[in-house]
Structure 1
């Protein structure tokens, strides 16, 4: 089956960047249940940038915008430089997202797992 025809994230390697332990665990379980391999979860920007640099293959990423008071933008930049599809997880409104990242898809916190999976599937299988 072609990648664009998949209805789930089977075989996709998804980086999860989230500093709330229980939420990160819930996201990881939902992704694994949908067939994805989870990279992380990681809770710090430096860890996310390091994984982005060190991992050979990252098919997609879900990033919390604010990690313990540190904004995730350096990790977003590293992923964008690699052409990795990114979905942001945030409770912030549109005005709080810098213009350079306004085009990125977002899922609103509190996260609803079905909506999250739908958003990631869309980013991983556009068209």
Structure 2
């Protein structure tokens, strides 16, 4: 996917991305989707709340994409860590984002399933 022309397009190749997704196949799909829009440096996938929280606390990331529901548990503690560290993030969900917007106003929510263009648009917004 072509991303040139956007102010963040030159930086996308070197992004470090945290993906929080409990479904292994969806996680692989998201990695491929990020790569399809030009992200090629680091894409780290966490499949559980514990590993996601640890990575959010100790990892070095430019942006993050969080599945709202991790095996019945919300990913909100991870979002709180990212907020504290100043790491921009978006949520991905197959359900309505009302609770997300109530807790994290203004944070983008991608409705699953989404396309590469939607991911690129949200990524561009996060990078400003």
TM-score of the pair, normalised by structure 2: 0.84
TM-score, normalised to structure 1, is: 0.84
Residue of structure 2 equivalent to 1:7? 9
- Which of 50, 66, 69 is 2:69 aligned to? 66
Match status 1:23 vs 2:18: no
Structure 1 unmatched ranges of 5 or more: none
In 2, the alpha carbon distance for the partners of 1:51 and 1:39 equals 12
The separation in 2 between residues aligned to 1:22 and 1:76, in whole angstroms, is: 22
* 1:27 and 1:113 in contact (8 A); partners too: no
CA distance in 2, matches of 1:82, 1:70: 22
Give runs of aligned pairs for residues 75-86 of structure 1, distance below 5 A: 75-86=78-89
Runs of 4 or more off by more than 6 Å in structure 1? Answer: none
Among candidates 40, 44, 68, match of residue 40 of structure 1 = 44
Q: Report the alpha carbon displacement of residue 22 of structure 1 after superposing the two structures with TM.
A: 1.5
SS in 2 for 1:48: helix
